[in-house]
């Protein structure tokens, strides 16, 4: 269950240690995922990604339950599993075009299912609308956005031998996103004076925001410099633009989860990592950077 906001926590964890643990946990998790995909075990990769995605979705609905907000979490979990596994199959075996059709079909089926499910519950003022809205929002915000990680792996053409090459772009995505998080924390802690959006996150500062952009830009340049052959679809202009865009999106993603947590009255999304937080706390910024990178590759770079 999510951790409730409580100023008198008997076992407080300092903000510094919390950040370092979350940063290390994120790197460890994605390192395992990337090692699997680099080894060629694509089924194992999607299994790990799907399990983590469903855990994150379950945490989101747990936050709603904590606040007493109505939702159909089981319906969403089933549809989410179908989306993750089916999208992987179509992207890896059939091709992107059919994957988009499949995903739209799942979303349509999910919407119809939610309405059908609501028909068996009594009508109480606006409760049916709130139940359906919270349910649909959870799937879109968490799982639909998260699923772009898998899409990035397969949107980049395979090598002549048939091996996937998109894992390098996932590595790039994670590194730039996490450097943005690190830059925001380090810069904000050192010189942060001007609050950015205090009613959402009092500790976020404009200096930290500038640090997030700087660190993500440096990470983007550094990765492109180190492995240009593996990021062959990019150039220095793309690396510069993406560094800034992903840094900005990472900050928005972090603030977006803060809105959800404040609205539901919880400190952390769950206890996936005791004393640190939940799965959603680890990937909140990736929920916005992953689709941004995917669409940049598709619409600007035009990799496929």
CB 276 within 8 A of CB 18: yes
Q: What is the DSSP letter of 85?
A: H
Q: What is the DSSP letter of 277?
A: B
Q: Could you tell me if residue 49 is left (phi over 0), alpha (psi between -120 and 50 degrees) or otherwise beta?
A: alpha
User: What pLDDT digit, counting tens, does each position of 66-80 carry?
Assistant: 999 999 999 999 999
User: What pLDDT digit, counting tens, does each position of 217-245 carry?
Assistant: 999 999 999 999 989 999 999 999 999 99
Q: What is the CA radius of gyration of the chain?
A: 20
- Per-residue pLDDT tens, the chain, 304 aa: give them: 566 555 444 444 566 777 777 777 777 777 787 787 777 677 887 888 888 899 999 999 999 999 999 999 999 999 999 999 888 888 888 877 778 888 899 999 999 999 998 887 777 778 889 999 999 999 999 999 999 998 998 888 887 887 788 888 988 999 999 999 889 988 988 898 888 888 888 888 899 999 999 999 999 999 999 999 989 999 999 999 999 999 999 999 999 999 999 999 988 887 776 556 788 988 899 999 999 999 999 999 988 6
Neighbours of 161 (CB within 10 A): 5
| CA–CA separation, 151 and 91 (whole Å) | 7
Residue 242: both structure tokens together: 């993406």
Helical (H) or strand (E) element with 34: helix 15-39
Residue 96 exposed, middle or buried by CB count within 10 Å (0-12, 13-18, 19+): middle
Which residues neighbour 44 within 8 Å (Cβ) at sequence distance 6 or greater? 36
Cα distance between the two ends of the chain: 42
| CA–CA separation, 280 and 294 (whole Å) | 20
| CA–CA separation, 101 and 295 (whole Å) | 17
DSSP, collapsed to helix, strand or coil, labels residue 207 as helix
| CA–CA separation, 281 and 89 (whole Å) | 28
The pTM (predicted TM-score) of the whole model is 0.87
């Amino acid at each position: 269950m999510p951790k409730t906001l409580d100023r008198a926590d008997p076992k407080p964890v300092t903000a510094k240690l919390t950040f370092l643990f979350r940063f290390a946990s994120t790197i460890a998790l994605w390192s395992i995922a990337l090692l699997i995909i680099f080894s060629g075990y694509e089924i194992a990769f999607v299994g790990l990604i799907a399990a983590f995605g469903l855990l994150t979705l379950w945490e989101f609905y747990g936050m709603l339950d904590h606040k007493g907000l109505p939702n159909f979490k089981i319906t969403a979990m089933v549809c989410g599993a179908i989306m993750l596994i089916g999208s992987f199959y179509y992207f890896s075996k059939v091709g992107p075009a059919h994957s988009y059709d499949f995903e739209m079909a799942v979303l349509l089926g999910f919407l119809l299912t939610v309405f059908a499910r609501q028909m068996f519950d009594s009508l109480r003022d606006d409760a049916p609308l709130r139940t359906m809205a919270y349910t649909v929002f959870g799937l879109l915000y968490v799982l639909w956005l998260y699923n772009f990680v898998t899409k990035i792996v397969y949107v980049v053409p395979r090598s002549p031998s048939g091996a996937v090459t998109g894992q390098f772009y996932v590595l790039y995505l994670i590194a730039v996103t996490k450097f943005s998080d690190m830059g925001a924390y380090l810069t904000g802690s050192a010189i942060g004076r001007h609050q950015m959006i205090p009613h959402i996150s009092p500790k976020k500062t404009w200096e930290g925001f500038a640090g997030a952009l700087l660190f993500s830009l440096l990470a983007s340049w550094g990765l492109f410099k180190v492995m240009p052959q593996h990021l062959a679809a990019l150039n220095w202009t793309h690396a510069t633009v993406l560094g800034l865009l992903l840094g900005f999106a990472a900050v928005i993603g972090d603030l977006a989860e803060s809105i959800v947590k404040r609205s539901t009255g919880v400190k952390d999304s769950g206890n996936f990592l005791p004393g640190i937080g939940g799965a959603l706390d680890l990937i909140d910024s990736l929920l916005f950077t992953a689709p941004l990178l995917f669409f940049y590759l598709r619409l600007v770079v035009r990799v496929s």
